[in-house]
Amino acid sequence: MAKLNQIIAVEKGVKSRTQADLTAVQHGLTKPALLAGLSRTYQPKDEEGEQLPPESTRVQVKAEEVLRDTARTLTRLFDVTATKDWANCTARADVTVDGRTLLRDVPVSYLLFLEKQLADLAAFLRKLPVLDGAESWSLDPSTDWWRTEQVRTVRTRKVPRNHVKAEATEKHPAQVEVYYEDIPVGYWTTVKFSGALPARRVNELLERMDKVQQAVKFAREEANGLDVEDRRVGDAVFGYLFGQ
């Protein structure tokens, strides 16, 4: 008795071989000349006439034989696929993480669905925004946002000043250079807020996701280890379809 995972492993090969064999078997039907045969003889009008040898062409492809070969080729595929699909109806396993059973008696088809969905969800988690590590953050209970401590900074204004480089004389005016001085005029008090997540939280989510993904894969392998009963459906189908 085969295992379900063994049937799954051979199914792809059976499909590809079946397609190749069908192409070869049915190729002759596309060439009318291979289906045609001929037999003819020649008789001159009188004894002195030219004698010609008989001509014949054998039929190389018989449609009835093509039907039999088609049925034989497809029967293996029908049987393997039926064996897999019937087994999938009963193959089940639990999804267990750290000794805790999250899901019980999960069918193989749903485990495959879970694997795909969890892979997409894991990609989403890896793109979650993370709080800037250069800041010190705390959760603000009043807004449920993350916030930094208050930072006070000085607001300044540039005020022009004169710098006398040379005093005025009787012959020359004073040489004055204008420069600007930053004069404090007030204070900014800044608090930053963010809706991103701490790196610790993101790493925790990714760790849990990895555990669940592994548990689903283990469950699928366990379910696919089920002993399966070989199903023989091809003979019944083609016996009816192509029977005399």
DSSP 193-225: EE--B-HHHHHHHHHHHHHHHHHHHHHHHHHHT
Overall pTM > 0.95: no
SS3 (DSSP) at 85: helix
Q: Are residues 158 and 185 in the same domain?
A: yes
Which whole number is the average pLDDT over 146-153?
93
Q: Are residues 102 and 125 in the same domain?
A: yes
Q: Which domain range does residue 5 map to?
A: 1-91+227-244
Q: What is the pLDDT of residues 23-81, one digit of tens each?
A: 888 888 788 877 788 888 888 888 878 888 888 888 787 888 888 888 988 999 999 99
Judge whether 220 and 115 are in contact, CB under 8 Å: yes
Number of domains in the chain: 3
Q: Are residues 50 and 108 in the same domain?
A: no
Q: Are residues 5 and 60 in the same domain?
A: yes
Mean pLDDT, the chain, rounded, equals 89
Q: Are residues 131 and 216 in the same domain?
A: yes
Residue 110 maps to a domain: yes
Q: Which helix (H) or strand (E) holds 20?
A: helix 4-26
SS3 (DSSP) at 236: helix
Q: Are residues 169 and 217 in the same domain?
A: no
Q: Are residues 70 and 166 in the same domain?
A: no
φ, ψ of residue 155 in degrees (nearest 5): -100, 130
Residue 195 maps to a domain: no
Q: Are residues 131 and 181 in the same domain?
A: no
Q: Are residues 100 and 122 in the same domain?
A: yes
Spatial neighbors of 160 by CB under 8 A, at least 6 apart, are 178, 179, 180, 181
Q: Are residues 114 and 69 in the same domain?
A: no
Q: Encode burial over 27-45: b for 16+ CB neighbours within 10 A, e otherwise.
A: ebeeeeeeeeeeeeeeeee
Alpha-carbon gap, residue 147 to 138, rounded angstroms: 5
Q: Return the bridge partners of 32, or none.
A: none
Per-residue model confidence (pLDDT) at position 198: 94
Per-residue model confidence (pLDDT) at position 127: 95
- Name the percent of the chain lying above pLDDT 90: 45
Per-residue model confidence (pLDDT) at position 132: 94
Q: What is the pLDDT of residues 207-244, one digit of tens each?
A: 999 999 999 999 999 998 888 888 889 999 988 888 87
Q: Which helix (H) or strand (E) holds 180?
A: strand 175-190
Q: Are residues 54 and 2 in the same domain?
A: yes
Residue 55 maps to a domain: yes
Residue 8 maps to a domain: yes
Residue 12 maps to a domain: yes
Is the pLDDT assigned to residue 100 strictly greater than 90?
A: yes
Q: Are residues 10 and 84 in the same domain?
A: yes
Residue 169 maps to a domain: yes
